[in-house]
Chain A
Amino acid sequence: MISQIVIVLFDGFAFGMLLFLLSVGLSVTLGMMNFINLAHGAFGMFGGYVAVTVMRQLGLPFLAALPLAFIAMALLSVLIERSLFRRLYKAGELNQVLFTIGVVFVAAAAATFIFGTVQQVIILPDWLRGSVEFGGVRFGIYRAFIILVALIITALLVFGLERTRLGAQIRAAVDNQRMAQGLGLDVERVFAITFALGCGLAGLGGALAVEIIGLSPSFGFQMLVYVLIVVSVGGLGSITGSFVGAALLGIGDVAGKYFWPEIGSFLIYLLLVAILLVRPLGLFGKR
């Protein structure tokens, strides 16, 4: 029994970490600018495509493809943020929803046009395949890898947010935008950088997700619901919140399916509704 609980926790945590990478950027940017970017998942999708393409076409190793997916999405997001999204910060939430849904449509069509409708495949290096046995429990190596990457990223994020100048600015902008602006902080610039980081992380998450959940042009739509759940359960603008929310969701999902398979598909939505009714701001949300 204990070994089963261990493995369920492990698998769920790994899945949660994938969700964390895909959604943390949205949580912070939403918390900072109140900008509802439903196209966030599309960055994850293109991140996946970047990884697949550089491995296929250029023969780059997987470990090189991951940072490339991050960089490519960060750059792309700067382009889009500066040219399009910037105009929408004062446009009202409904218009933001409409616009970014439009972006999702266009992104899906573009992905279909460039990459086709086929499911993309990522060929992992041998050392990431299979599983290791440890105390009678078999752990998937790739899942362990995902957890490792996510923990490193989390550590970097927390450290960056607590210890760097940019981090302080981001915190200030999330806490109280008007006051930060009053203190002479260039909130728009801070936001652009945060946005780029967040989209880059989504790209990285997308690249890591191909192996677990696949990749096709509907990825952006598919992940949208999960990403929104993590963001709302965790609470806006909080890295801790996204981390805990994603871990909870991942573990809850896997544990629910394992222990009560009959209601496996209901469980995350039940959790979502229950948590938000009790804590409308999410677990770590401040406003």
Chain B
Amino acid sequence: MTDSIAPIESRDWLRRRSRWSPFEILFWLAALLPFILFPTYLPLASQIAIAALFAISVDLILGYAGIVTLGHAMFFGLGAYFAGIISVRGWGEPVSGLLMAGLFAGIIGYIVSFLITRVQHLALLMVTLGLGLLTYELANALHDLTGGTDGLRGIRTWPIFGQFKFDLWGYTGYAYTLALLFLCFLLSRRLVNSSFGLALRGIRENVKRMPAIGADHKGHLRLVYAISAAIAGLAGGLMAQTTNTVALDSLSFERSADVVVMLILGGTGRLYGAILGTIIFLVARDQLAGINPQYWYFGIGLLLMVVVLFMPTGILGFLARIVDRRK
């Protein structure tokens, strides 16, 4: 063929789109800074890493596939309870426990996805919310298994690989959560840069066209929903293991709503938006609550309003536009 060079250019172009930018490398290096610069903030850093992982799981379905959810804490909580309960029942090995927690949440996610893909818009929002609240009530009702409102008692997480004990300062906790966040981020990054990620973007861009190119878009949605649920379950399992606590709040509507707020705040459909939004929301909350434990949410509320008015594509979208303009 005469223009056989051109497809290679296209491939190059596609490859370039998924190449690591210096910003990204810098970002992940910066994620190591708390170890050295803010060692007393490591517990907060772990909590942020867990929330960021949860936000990434929501970004996969909301930002990439356009599934708006108000019930994703369901999977976070299922993962948390699973990891917690097997620990209480005698298996406190963290890595295998975490994987099982993620798998469990993913399986439930796949089952639930058959309901989710039947509805759209407000109904979708409300079905996810309803399923989330049902799970919450179920956990409350299964008092003997879950500890009800008091929370699950007796979680003991063994040292990682039998070596690294979870310490009071949170070094091990942060190393563990950061490692998991990074791994899941790599997976998610690969996912969004894969043909599957392209299919998800196709669904978001024009769901009507998908059947006309022969796509099983509901199948795609089910798959991404299950993957997202599994990642949310991992995040929940991490919370259970690093804090040795699980209670009903891990399944609550507030947690579902908060994660969506953090994601939109950072900017949807960018993965890094999920992480950035989480960092900004939780750091702002921590700092504002440090100043005044009672009125911090006034400041948070204003932050959200200002971001919408002045950065309609989220904080990361806003930053990206500034960088683009500079170029």
Q: Tell me whether chain A's interface is mostly helix, strand or loop, or mixed.
A: helix
Q: Are A87 and B309 in contact (CB under 8 A)?
A: yes
Q: Is the interface of B mostly helix, strand, loop or mixed?
A: helix
Cross-chain contact A92 with B312 (CB below 8 angstroms): yes
Give the shortest distance, in Å, between A81 (CB) and chain B (any CB).
14
Query: Which of B21-29, B182-190, B221-229, B297-305 lines the interface with chain A?
Result: B297-305
**B residues near A84, Cβ cutoff 8 Å:** 305
Contact A228 B304 (CB under 8 A): no
Say yes or no: is B158 at the interface (Cβ < 8 Å to chain A): no
- Name the residue among A94, A228, A231, A236 with the largest chain B CB count within 10 angstroms: A94
Instruction: Known contacts A225-B133, A229-B126, A276-B127; decide if A95 and B119 are in contact (CB<8 Å).
Output: no
Cβ–Cβ < 8 Å partners of A281 in chain B: 123
Most chain A CB within a 10 A radius of its CB, from B130, B138, B265, B300: B130
What A residues does B304 contact at CB under 8 A? 98-99, 101-102, 105
Kindly state whether residue A127 has any CB partner on chain B within 8 Å.
no
**Do A101 and B137 contact each other (CB < 8 Å), given the known contacts A95-B312, A106-B301, A273-B127?**
no
- Residue B294 lies at the interface, judged by CB distance under 8 Å to chain A: yes
**Residue from A102, A270, A272 within 8 A of B301 (CB atoms):** A102
Beta-carbon contact of B305 and A99 below 8 Å: yes
Contact check: which of A87, A112, A228, A280 meets B129 at CB < 8 Å? Answer: A228
**Docked-complex contact B133 and A269, CB < 8 angstroms:** yes
Q: In the complex, A98→B295 CA distance in Å?
A: 19
Interface status of B308 (Cβ within 8 A of chain A): yes
Give bound CA distance, A278 to B260, whole Å. 26
Contact yes or no, B130 A88, CB < 8 A: no
Contact among B118, B134, B140, B305 for A102, CB-based, below 8 A: B305
A58-108 residues at the B interface, CB under 8 angstroms:
84, 87-88, 91-95, 97-99, 101-108
Q: Write out, one digit per residue, whether chain A residues 216-236 have a CB within 8 A of any chain B CB (1) or not (0).
A: 000001000100110111001
The reply on A265 being an interface residue by CB < 8 A is yes
Within 8 A of B (CB), among A96-137: 97-99, 101-110, 112-113
Q: Does A266 contact B (CB under 8 A)?
A: yes
Let me know if B191 is at the binding interface, CB within 8 A.
no
Contact indicator A228/B126 (Cβ below 8 Å): yes
**In A27-44, which residues have CB < 8 Å from any B CB?**
30
Interface residue ranges, B against A (CB under 8 Å): 62, 68, 115, 118-123, 125-127, 129-131, 133-134, 137-138, 140-141, 253-254, 257, 260-261, 264-265, 268, 294-295, 297-298, 300-305, 307-309, 312
A interface residues, Cβ below 8 angstroms from B: 30, 84, 87-88, 91-95, 97-99, 101-110, 112-113, 221, 225, 228-229, 231-233, 236, 265-266, 269-270, 272-273, 276-277, 280-282
